[in-house]
Amino acid sequence: MNQAQSLYPLIEQALLCPVVDDKLALAERLRRDWRGGLLVREASPAACALPQPGRPLRPELVHPARVPRRSLATRHGHGALLHAIAHIEFNAVNLALDAAWRFRDMPGEFVDDWLTVAAEEAGHFRLLRGRLADLGFAYGDFPAHDGLWTMCRKTDHDAMVRMALVPRVLEARGLDVTPGIQRRLAGIGDHASVAVLDVILRDEVGHVMIGNRWFVRLCRERGLEPQATFRGLLEQHAMQQHPGDYNLSARAEAGFFADELEALARLTESVSDGR
């Protein structure tokens, strides 16, 4: 009979691990062992600030403006696009692990949700790395930026703020842009990557739904109105919903409020009308 192990040191081990394959395996094992009752939440000190999670020496991290944009008409451009998505998924593993590790006053369902997300993000990264390999590239062959982890640091003081600004903003934006990326990939005949993004989009709807659910729950536990609170956090952190294409059906499935969807629909229409 396996002896139960302490949860938080094992999450920390995965978070700080710099070896990609080891981190992925640790994330997947955490979910499996948690579900199997092999991990216990023992009293432990509060999580510390974490300037960076463990990561490999490559890719080189640069300012977002310095990440080169290449045409999909070239093999390098094709690889650069898939690499950018793979990098997002790798960072998403760390963000999910951090949520489960950091917010220790949250209930066990919160831990279960975010360990599940971490394991699924690990699977997404594996799928995208496989597509990169098919094109003759590896993770680390292109520069990348650190925007996701920057937001992780900005929200490490409050689970409600994390749920608002990471799943409800950054990850939800992934729901919006994925169909357009799929159309571009289909246009060059890369139907294998389109199929990979089908899997990722399906799972990401569930991840955003988890963030939505916990955001609303935390707001209501604190006597706050969720939508007004969300708008206030966007203003506080100088984040805006810009005109563009919004995947309203995916957002509806992920649990956004009807009047939020109506407001986003107006932003979508303003682009279509050229306003």
CA angle, corner 192, sides to 66 and 149, nearest 5?
Answer: 35
How far is the C-alpha of 196 from the C-alpha of 205, rounded, in Å?
A: 15
Predicted model pTM: 0.94
Confidence of residue 50 (pLDDT cuts 50, 70, 90): confident
The per-residue pLDDT for 244 is 78
How far is the C-alpha of 26 from the C-alpha of 21, rounded, in Å?
A: 9
**Where does residue 12 fall: left (phi above 0), alpha (psi -120 to 50 degrees), or beta otherwise?**
alpha
Selected residue with higher pLDDT from 237 and 125: 125
How far is the C-alpha of 39 from the C-alpha of 30, rounded, in Å?
A: 8
Confidence of residue 227 (pLDDT cuts 50, 70, 90): very high
Q: Is residue 93's pLDDT more than 90? A: yes
- pLDDT cut 90: percent of the chain above it: 79
The per-residue pLDDT for 269 is 66
Mean pLDDT within 162-185: 95
Q: Which of 96, 99, 125 is nearest to 199 (CA)?
A: 125
Mean pLDDT within 43-63: 86
Give, as one character, the DSSP assignment of residue 61.
Answer: B
Q: Is residue 224's pLDDT more than 80? A: yes
Mean pLDDT within 247-256: 96
Distances in whole angstroms, Cα of residue 153 to Cα of each of 18, 156, 166: 18, 5, 11
Helix (H) or strand (E) segment spanning residue 5: strand 5-6
Confidence of residue 42 (pLDDT cuts 50, 70, 90): confident
Mean pLDDT within 203-213: 98
- pLDDT cut 70: percent of the chain above it: 97
The per-residue pLDDT for 168 is 95
Q: Is residue 70's pLDDT more than 80? A: no
| 3-state secondary structure (DSSP) of residue 239 | coil
Mean pLDDT within 171-175: 94
The per-residue pLDDT for 49 is 81
How far is the C-alpha of 62 from the C-alpha of 80, rounded, in Å?
A: 14
Mean pLDDT within 202-229: 97
How does strand 5-6 pair with strand 39-40?
A: parallel
Q: What DSSP letter does each residue of 38-59 carry, written as one string?
A: -EE----PPPPP-S-----S-S
Q: Is residue 275's pLDDT more than 60? A: no
Count CB-CB contacts under 10 A for residue 133: 11
CA angle, corner 207, sides to 204 and 208, nearest 5?
Answer: 90
| 3-state secondary structure (DSSP) of residue 79 | helix
Instruction: Return the amino acid letter for 73.
Output: A
Please enumerate in sequence order all residues whose Cβ is within 8 A of that of 171, keeping only pairs 6 or more positions apart, or say none: 92, 204, 207, 208, 211
